[in-house]
């Protein structure tokens, strides 16, 4: 019974981790041939500043650093639903730990 319960907790936490914020990256460096990337990355949470840093760190060959020649655009899209699900996951995990602890206390007398 406890193993099934723990398995459900793990599944819920994995589902919660797939829901989060989106970071859009569009970059081009021209030295001497163009190297471009356009993609959306998923992050647990982000701001426009952390999204820009993440794009530049993930795609250094395509995303120019500030002051370097090239084209760069990034944007973070936050998901309130993702934050809500993350909060619920934490509450479920905490409640599960308490429930398992109480079950062990009851079984041991």
3-state SS, the chain, equals CHHHHHHHHHHHHHHHHHCCEEEEEEEEEECCCEEEEEEEEEECCCCHHHHHHHHHHHCCCCCCCCCCCCEEEEEEECCHHHHHHHHHHHHHHHHHHHHHHHHHHHHHC
Every domain of the chain and the residues it spans: 1-20+80-109, 21-78
Q: Could you report the per-residue pLDDT of 2-17, keeping only the tens digit for each?
A: 565 455 455 555 544 4
Q: What is the pTM of this model?
A: 0.55
Q: Could you report the per-residue pLDDT of 6-60, keeping only the tens digit for each?
A: 554 555 555 444 457 899 999 999 878 888 999 999 888 889 999 999 999 999 9
């Amino acid at each position: 019974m406890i193993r099934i319960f723990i398995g459900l907790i793990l599944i819920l936490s994995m589902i919660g981790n797939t829901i989060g914020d989106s970071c859009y990256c569009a970059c081009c460096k021209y030295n001497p041939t163009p190297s471009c990337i356009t993609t959306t990355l998923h992050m647990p949470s982000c701001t426009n500043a952390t999204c820009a840093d993440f794009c530049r760190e993930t795609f250094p060959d395509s995303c120019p650093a500030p002051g370097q020649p090239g084209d760069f655009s990034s944007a973070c899209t936050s998901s309130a639903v993702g934050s809500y699900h993350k909060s619920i996951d934490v509450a479920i995990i905490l409640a599960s730990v308490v429930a398992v602890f109480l079950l062990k206390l009851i079984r041991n007398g």
